[in-house]
Copies of this chain bind each other. A is one copy, B any other.
Amino acid sequence: MKLLQVDTLEEARSKLRKAAEQVPLRTEEIPISQAFGRILAQDVCAGEPIPSFRRSSVDGYAVRSADTAGATESIPVFLEIVEDVAIGHPALAPVGPGMCSYVPTGGMIPEGADAMVMVEYSELFDENHVAINTAVSSGRFVVDVGEDMKTGELVLSRGTQIGPAQVGALAAVGTDRILVYRPWRVAVISTGDELVPVESVPGPGQVRDINTWALGGCVAQCGMELVLARALEDQEDRLEETVRQAVETCDLLLVSGGSSQGKKDVTMEVLDRVSGGGVFTHGLALKPGKPTILGCDRAEGTILAGLPGHPSAALTVFCLLFRWLWRQVTGQPEETPVLAHMETNLASAAGKATCLPVKLIPEGKALLARPILGKSGLITTLSEADGYILVDMNREGLKKGEPVWVRRYF
């Protein structure tokens, strides 16, 4: 396999990042009812303080804390109730010395009061008086104006993916429409004369088409839009025609198979021809993932890739390059990796980085990383994995007990 321009993972990422500047990144404004899973294309700040009034965090009596000094169950303090504050309504009567108001959880604390006494620590004496049998300090059970968010405070930053808590935060600050990124449109083409459809029984020499499904799943999981997913035979003119059509409408085109240097490996030639010489990487110093082709059609604003035919290699390259790239361009922060310790020694090839699938095994007060081995590159190595370890190209292996950072594939 004579590859033309073998890059390290870092070199390939750097070139892709630059190529992505040619690909339009569109945004759209949507209501938050449709925001779930989308990526924010704007910062969101609080337009007013939250809460906008002093709120009680308990059911009880709003008091002047000084009035409760020394109060106990045996020697309670008697206070006059001047108002029964209704939830959702303003507190109207100021609380002067010797006074208090009933305030429910979430209710507004009246002027003059500076603390709450929980209802459990009180006893109604008559309709207008209550016995308080505990002393409270100033600020007790009071949520101050702006304590959650101050005016102008950053609530969510660009690149945040909207999950349940984020939808809640948007609702809290009254943001009912947001600007999000429109997903890249992606085409997946799986090539190989050996491929038969899922519903077929493969004959001698044949295997079922896995990559169309698995790569299509990757695209969806990243929040990109799958606009084409098709298996093709190894036929150069048919591939070229399909690629030319796809490039016109897609932001990212993935061709799996035919990316090596075998007799029928025409992906490199086709991608380079269609993009007018736009291929900049042929070969990745990554195991698995060596036969990877990267390029850009600058005229159409499309990134082109040839991925390995082995399903687990194709998914690994997708994850390390294209999931990474989409997160980069949309400003998504790097995901926090998990710290684990190697369960066993493991040799790796020097001279190229190794992406090692692992299972995470909690054991006592330790989290162990158990390598999933298998030479064939079938999909099961990934369907069982909790994540991967990226072994540096200068390392010749990992030692049992060594700390390792584990990252998620998807």
Contact B379 A192 (CB under 8 A): no
Interface hits, A323-356 → B, CB 8 Å: 336-340
> For A206, A215, A361, which residue has the most chain B Cβ atoms within 10 angstroms?
A206
Residues on the B chain within 8 Å of A36, using CB = 217, 220-221
Residue of B nearest to A402 (CB): B365
Given contacts A339-B340, A376-B148, contact A104 B262 (CB under 8 A): yes
If over half of A's interface residues share one DSSP class (helix, strand or loop), that class is named, otherwise mixed; here it is: loop
Select A87's contact among B173, B217, B234, B386, beta carbons within 8 Å. B234
List A88-119 residues whose CB lies under 8 Å from chain B. 88-91, 104-108, 118-119
Tell me, in angstroms, the Cα distance from A260 to B311 when the chains sit together: 54
C-alpha gap A220/B32 in the complex (Å): 14
Q: Which residues of B contact A207 (CB under 8 A)?
A: 50-52, 55, 106, 172
Q: Which residues of B contact A205 (CB under 8 A)?
A: 53, 85-91, 107-108
Tell me if A339 and B366 are in contact (CB < 8 A): yes
Complex: A202 Cα to B49 Cα, angstroms: 11
| A343-381 near B? 1/0 per residue, CB < 8 Å | 000000000000000001110011100000011111110
A 139-174 contacts with B by CB, 8 A: 143, 147-149, 155-156, 162-174
Q: Decide if A270 is an interface residue (CB 8 Å cutoff).
A: no
B168 touches A315 (CB 8 A): yes
In the complex the two chains form, what is the Cα distance from A360 to B386 in whole Å? 18
Q: Is there contact, CB below 8 Å, between B215 and A164? A: yes
In the complex, A207 Cα to B50 Cα: how many Å?
8
Interface-located stretch among A71-79, A193-201, A247-255: A193-201
Q: Is the CB of A53 within 8 A of B204?
A: yes
Q: Is there contact, CB below 8 Å, between A217 and B57?
A: no
A155 CB contacts on chain B under 8 angstroms: 380, 383
Nearest-CB distance from A233 to chain B (Å)? 8
A280 on the interface (CB 8 Å rule)?
Answer: no
A400 in contact (CB, < 8 A):
no
Question: Which residues of B are found within 8 Å of A163, using beta-carbon distances?
Answer: 217, 221, 383, 410
Provide the residues of chain B in CB contact with A208, threshold 8 Å. 171-174
Bound-state Cα–Cα, A13 to B265, Å: 57
Question: Residues of B contacting A211 with CB < 8 Å?
Answer: 168
Interface residue? A264 (CB, 8 A): yes
Q: How far is the CA of A52 from the CA of B207 in the complex (A)?
A: 8
Cα distance, A212 to B50, chains bound together (Å):
18
CB distance from A307 to the nearest CB of B (A): 13
A176 at the interface (CB under 8 A from B): yes
Q: Complex Cα distance A405/B363, Å? A: 11
A218 at the B interface (CB under 8 A): yes
Distance from A336 Cβ to chain B, minimum over Cβ atoms (Å):
5
Q: Tell me the bound Cα distance from A181 to B88 in angstroms.
A: 41
Residues from chain B with a CB closer than 8 A to the CB of A88 are 192-195, 205-206
A128 to B93, CA, bound (A): 104
Closest Cβ–Cβ distance, residue A392 to chain B (whole Å): 15
Tell me the smallest distance from the CB of A386 to a CB of chain B, in Å: 6
Contact B91 A148 (CB under 8 A): no
A309 proximal to B (CB < 8 A): yes
For the complex, what is the distance from the CA of A210 to the CA of B167, rounded to whole Å? 8
A59 touches B260 (CB 8 A): yes
Q: Which residues of A contact B (CB under 8 A)?
A: 1-2, 32, 36, 48, 50-53, 55, 57, 59, 85-91, 104-108, 118-120, 143, 147-149, 155-156, 162-176, 192-195, 198-218, 220-221, 234, 260-264, 309-311, 315, 336-340, 360-362, 365-367, 374-380, 382-383, 385-386, 403, 405, 409-410
